[in-house]
Structure 1
Amino acid sequence: MTVSPRNCERVVLIGWGAIGTAVARLLAEVQSEARIVAVAVRDPARPRSTLPDGARLISRPAELSDVDADLVIEAAGRDSVAPWARAALGAGVDFVVSSTSALAEAALLDELCGLARTNRAQLIVQPGALGGVDALAAARHMGLARVEHRIVKPAHAWAGTEAESLCALNALDAPVAFFTGTAAEAAARFPQNANVALTTALAGIGPERTRITLIADPAATLNRHEITASGDFGTLDVQIANRPLPENPKSSAMTALNLVRLIGNRKAGLVV
């Protein structure tokens, strides 16, 4: 994969589900100069009428070598991270992770960081549905003593996960905390819903020391994240409530918005 200087950021999206399609729509709405040059899908033979103009369909990581891209963004699920990240970082192209739970595997995280360093590329963990990640990451340089993250979602958003065996999702009449443990355990057991658990952990004190509580709330209509941290820097208390994407109640609109912000900042003269 060759990368040449240009004013236009050329992006490859891995995945064309709720997040990928929302990113493409938002880029068009804000009239971004970034171009989606390729979209990776499992079945390229299936017709897709909504692809961005000029975007080609690919299905194998090896095909990245034929795409002239500046940035590869994963939005396809945990299993897609390792093969596509290896291909992108191995070619010296920055790779953005959305399914951060994949990085709970310490060996994979070490491997990808090594590839990034060797090839002068970046493995980028985007904030996803969270706010305050920048402050948390900054605070760790002075030392963090405690980081806790509560994830509150409507009961139906936990359907199809282990939560179904831990509480009566369809019969709840009050919020239930059905899991409390480390970020590593939360990401491994609830990869679709708790990607942000690893984001918080990587920004702060790591997967084994970060405490996660998962809550099903029958009255909730938004996905809420509550992060508290303390250390020599002081205290941090951040809460954000996100609207879920209509196509996927497990994903928040803020995830797509943060990706659009990231893409825009790559070429912006002013970055905030």
Structure 2
Amino acid sequence: MRLVLIGWGAIGSEIARLLAARRSAVQIVAVAVRDAGRDLPFPLITAPTELPAHTPDLVVEVAGRAAVLPWGQAALAAGADFAPASTSAFAEDGALEALLHLARAHNRQILIPPGALGGMDALSAAARLPLAQVTHDITKPALAWAGTEAETLCDLASLTAPHCFFEGPAREAGRRFPQNANVAMITALAGVGPEATIIRMIADPAATGNRHRIVANGDFGRMEITLDNLALPHNPKSSALTALSLVRLIENRATPLVI
């Protein structure tokens, strides 16, 4: 399978390392970067117009929110499926609809990876029947919220117990807290949508890592999913599970057994 990676940061390089280590049936035919002078063992491209020449089967975006629309449009128009890691882009009105229009026109697919989350297959399956409620709690060490709007909503340094400083729809969470918008939008797209999915953001002075707790109720029954994620060893801002989930997605497009 011919793969193009959009971005070569911590996640992109980890994807390439894992694919090589696992001897996956995948060929990275190009990597999109800002600087074409970088020394990488793959052909480099810097603009979406260069994408069709590499005839990709799958294009995976790991470059950030601003890359989703231009590279997604180029990928779908070139006849490739498109997997965006920066699902925060879909917090903006019309963004997903624009890509879906192209996907239908070219008979391609937009693949939403679970990223740092788990159980999205179960949540998506449950949504085939009516869902009454989906909530997603995002808990981080108090000072990990420094540099975000949380600083204006509570005194992070003085907290002595877990404090929920935001509760609202996933779309609003994605706009106001872009660092956490990817997971908010993934949960929303898998379940009841960005307006009905409730996101709660919690600062916990005793927490040592990031925790996601998703609870869904509906005609299927009830589910509760909790994940305590570790970061990539070489980048504390990136979840190891995000890279692993993308490797799984890529391999599932290239192997005869899909789980």
Q: TM-score, normalised by structure 2?
A: 0.94
Residue 34 (structure 2) aligned to one of 37, 42, 59: 42
- What is residue 100 of structure 1 aligned with on the other side? 87
Deviations 1:60-103 (A, max 9, x none): 11110221211111111111111110111112210001111111
Question: Aligned pair 1:132/2:132, yes or no?
Answer: no
Question: Do 1:223 and 1:252's aligned partners in 2 also have CA atoms closer than 8 Å?
Answer: no
- What is residue 45 of structure 2 aligned with on the other side? 58
- What is residue 244 of structure 1 aligned with on the other side? 231
Give the secondary structure class of the aligned counterpart of 2:178: coil
Give the secondary structure class of the aligned counterpart of 1:240: strand
Question: Aligned pair 1:83/2:70, yes or no?
Answer: yes
Tell me which amino acid in the other structure corresponds to 2:20.
Answer: A
Q: Quick one: distance in 2 between partners of 1:56 and 1:163?
A: 41
Deviations 1:31-67 (A, max 9, x none): 222122211112223x34xx3x3x1111111110221
Deviations 1:93-141 (A, max 9, x none): 1000111111122311111111001101111110001111001111111
- What is residue 190 of structure 1 aligned with on the other side? 177
Relative distance call for 1:250 and 1:182 in structure 2 (3 A) is farther
Displaced runs of 4+ in structure 1, greater than 6 A? Answer: none
Question: Aligned pair 1:154/2:141, yes or no?
Answer: yes
- What is residue 11 of structure 1 aligned with on the other side? 3
Relative distance call for 1:32 and 1:189 in structure 2 (3 A) is same
Residue 263 (structure 1) aligned to one of 247, 250, 254: 250
Shift of 1:175: 2.4
Relative distance call for 1:237 and 1:188 in structure 2 (3 A) is same
Shift of 1:251: 2.5
Residue 200 (structure 1) aligned to one of 187, 204, 208: 187
Shift of 1:159: 3.2
Q: Quick one: distance in 1 between partners of 2:5 and 2:175?
A: 24
- What is residue 216 of structure 2 aligned with on the other side? 229
Q: Quick one: distance in 2 between partners of 1:15 and 1:76?
A: 4
Over the matched positions of the two proteins, sequence identity in percent amounts to 59
Q: Quick one: distance in 1 between partners of 2:80 and 2:195?
A: 30
- What is residue 57 of structure 2 aligned with on the other side? 70
Give the secondary structure class of the aligned counterpart of 2:180: coil
Gaps of 5+ in 1: 1-8
Question: Aligned pair 1:28/2:15, yes or no?
Answer: no
- What is residue 4 of structure 1 aligned with on the other side? none
Instruction: Say how many residue pairs are matched.
Output: 259
Tell me which amino acid in the other structure corresponds to 1:195.
Answer: N
Q: Quick one: distance in 2 between partners of 1:158 and 1:13?
A: 29
Q: Quick one: distance in 2 between partners of 1:26 and 1:156?
A: 32
Q: Quick one: distance in 2 between partners of 1:182 and 1:107?
A: 17
Q: Quick one: distance in 1 between partners of 2:27 and 2:103?
A: 23
Shift of 1:171: 4.2
Gaps of 5+ in 2: none
Question: Do 1:10 and 1:69's aligned partners in 2 also have CA atoms closer than 8 Å?
Answer: yes
Shift of 1:236: 1.0
Shift of 1:21: 1.3
Measured on the aligned residues, the alpha-carbon RMSD in Å equals 1.5
Question: Do 1:78 and 1:191's aligned partners in 2 also have CA atoms closer than 8 Å?
Answer: no
Q: TM-score, normalised by structure 1?
A: 0.90
Q: Quick one: distance in 2 between partners of 1:184 and 1:231?
A: 21
Give the secondary structure class of the aligned counterpart of 1:102: helix
Give the secondary structure class of the aligned counterpart of 2:36: coil
